[in-house]
Amino acid sequence: MMHFMWIMPQWAAPPGVRAAFTLRTGGTSAAPFDTLNLGAHVGDDPLRVAANRRRVAEALGLPSGPVWLQQVHGTAVHEIVPGGAAPRAPADAAFTRAPGQVCAIMVADCLPVLFAARDGRTVGAAHAGWRGLAAGVLEATVRAMALPGRELLAWLGPAIGPAHFEVGDEVRAAFLAHDAAAGAAFRAGAADRWWCDLARLARQRLEALGVAEVSADGSCTYADRERFFSYRRDGQCGRMAALVWMEPR
């Protein structure tokens, strides 16, 4: 069995803010969820998913269990508070002002975006596939955190890269309707198809919000089968997680 490994985001987060992005290795799940699947909604054995989640919590020394969202490619944002009930309604972003509470976003090609306030008192995470990004999930997250963009840092995690993310005219049109500059994130493909740069689209949205300090991992989930799950590549597969929290004070 491979050891559990993860990516530590390289960003200028303030002291006390911790973050991690899990890889697909080091868990207990069988194919096609092999091995560190954290998604309880993809058809995997629930006991194996629970074991994988425990393994992540122990290896990362999480101060509490991550709050897992019911993600639907929307723009709803859930605030995590100590002792709060698990979110009953779907949400694609979460934030907290409470140390010891863990925000979590599951992905398998979509772009995870982590946020941290420069003063270290608020963190957040958003699930930015193309639908959520076009609908304004990043704007909704920053609005819910109630901080000016200049007071936030952002980190873009691994996602499907522009060499592998082929989309139709309707996707490009959805972004151009919001901002003509979004055209720079699309490269013409065959017929009415386009190659789409999700991370570039996210950077444009963040810049418009005033979030100037944006770091990125840059890895392509589709291209790296050894480290990442990819829904576009494999269809049925597991989910990785981007996590962010503040250490208990």
* CATH number of the domain to which 70 belongs: 3.60.140.10
* DSSP H/E element including 186: strand 186-188
Are the C-beta atoms of 119 and 56 separated by less than 8 Å?
no
Residue 8, in any domain of the structure: no
**Higher per-residue confidence, 83 vs 35:** 35
Residue 117, in any domain of the structure: yes
* Cβ atoms < 10 Å from Cβ of 85: 6
Task: State which residues form the domain around 118.
Answer: 17-246
pLDDT score at 93: 98
Residue 168's SS3 state is: strand
47: CB partners within 8 A, 6+ apart: none
Q: What is the pTM of this model?
A: 0.96
Residue of 94, 61, 18, 11 lying closest to 247 (CA atoms): 18
Tokens (6 digits) for 183: 């055209």
Tokens (6 digits) for 202: 């996210």
Residue 2, in any domain of the structure: no
Residue 225, in any domain of the structure: yes
Residue 7, in any domain of the structure: no
Residue 151, in any domain of the structure: yes
Residue 1, in any domain of the structure: no
144: CB partners within 8 A, 6+ apart: 77, 79, 93, 95, 124
- pLDDT, mean over the chain: 96
Residue 61, in any domain of the structure: yes
- For 142-173, write each residue's pLDDT tens digit: 999 999 999 999 999 999 999 999 999 999 99
Domain count, the chain: 1
Are the C-beta atoms of 5 and 110 separated by less than 8 Å?
no
- For 4-50, write each residue's pLDDT tens digit: 789 999 999 999 999 999 999 999 999 999 999 999 999 999 999 99
